Amino acid sequence: MLRIENLNTHYGPSHILQGVDLQIPAGKIYAVLGRNGVGKTTTVRSIMGLVRPSSGRILLDGHDIAGWAPHRIARAGVAYVPEGRLIFPDLTVLENIRVGERHPARIWTMGRLLELFPSLRERSSNRGWQLSGGEQQMLAIARALVSDPRAVLLDEPSQGLAPLVVRELAEVIKRLCAEGVTILLIEQNMKLAEAVADELHIMVKGRIVYRAPPAVFRADEEAIRGRYLTV
Ligand SMILES: Nc1ncnc2c1ncn2[C@@H]1O[C@H](COP(=O)(O)OP(=O)(O)OP(=O)(O)O)[C@@H](O)[C@H]1O
Ligand SMILES: [Mg+2]
């Protein structure tokens, strides 16, 4: 569904993505793990059109969207939940969600979103700054869903969240997958990635160097962790 081929992205003279290859079948959850600064966020920003790749292809259902403007990529069915959430602190929960709406949602109507995120329903008229980190993360996901995306890019959603909230997040991600949404999950939290992903990928210096289903990964976890993930 989403197929990335030999993607290269530069920031000025810095060659950040050095030939990323990644293929995510429709309805699957694929996770990308990696140390700080290896290019995980640059990968999702490149897919979303927020930074222009220097070469390579990004195929969405066979159409090459590399270099398209972000609004056009969003219209094609890709949504992005940025690292750090970027909730509008002075807008209410409902207003924050409506920011993501491009036309009245058909699949993820406000009613369904508030059913998926009961904590947001209770806080619907609270402002962004009044929410906990977990509520802000759920809000960021709700804001992405209201555009009825077919694919969602989640950049480190578990960052700064308590273990109990991370478990809640895992349930939400699985529920989205059950609804047919294709998910690219960027994570540093290996437990979360292992719990939800159909396949795990590890990025090192702008390349995917390892891929395996969670069961295979788990069997070899300590060695992999030492080799690619711990500092
Ligand atoms: N706007 C930018 N201009 C120049 N260099 C950048 C820019 N954004 C990121 N970089 C550099 O690109 C490299 C990859 O950054 P990126 O944010 O993709 O890493 P990451 O894997 O998401 O890291 P983290 O785990 O810390 O989020 C880093 O060396 C970073 O300093
Ligand atoms: Mg990042």
Long-range contacts of 60-69 (CB under 8 A, 24+ apart): 60/1, 60/2, 60/151, 61/1, 66/7
Is residue 11 in contact with ligand 1, taking CB distance under 6 Å?
yes
Is residue 202 in contact with ligand 1, taking CB distance under 6 Å?
no
Local structure of 116: helix, strand or coil: helix
78: β partners: 151
Is residue 16 in contact with ligand 1, taking CB distance under 6 Å?
yes
Q: What angle do CA 88, 128, 121 make, to 5 degrees?
A: 125
Does the pTM surpass 0.75? The reply is: yes
Q: How far is the CA of 186 from the centre of ligand 1 (A)?
A: 13
CA 192 to chain centre: 13
Percent above pLDDT 90 for the chain: 90
Residue 32: per-residue pLDDT: 98
Per DSSP, 130 falls in state: G
| Whether the predicted pLDDT of 102 surpasses 90 | no
Q: For 142-156, what is each residue's pLDDT tens digit?
A: 999 999 999 999 999
Q: For 132-145, what is each residue's pLDDT tens digit?
A: 999 999 999 999 99
| Whether the predicted pLDDT of 231 surpasses 80 | no
> What residues contact residue 229 under an 8 Å CB cut-off, 6+ apart?
33, 34, 35, 190, 202
Q: For 9-31, what is each residue's pLDDT tens digit?
A: 999 999 999 999 999 999 999 99
Nearest alpha carbon, ligand 1 atom 29 = 37
* Domains of the chain, CATH where assigned: 1-77+151-157+181-231 (3.40.50.300), 80-149 (no CATH)
**Mean pLDDT computed over 101-112:** 90
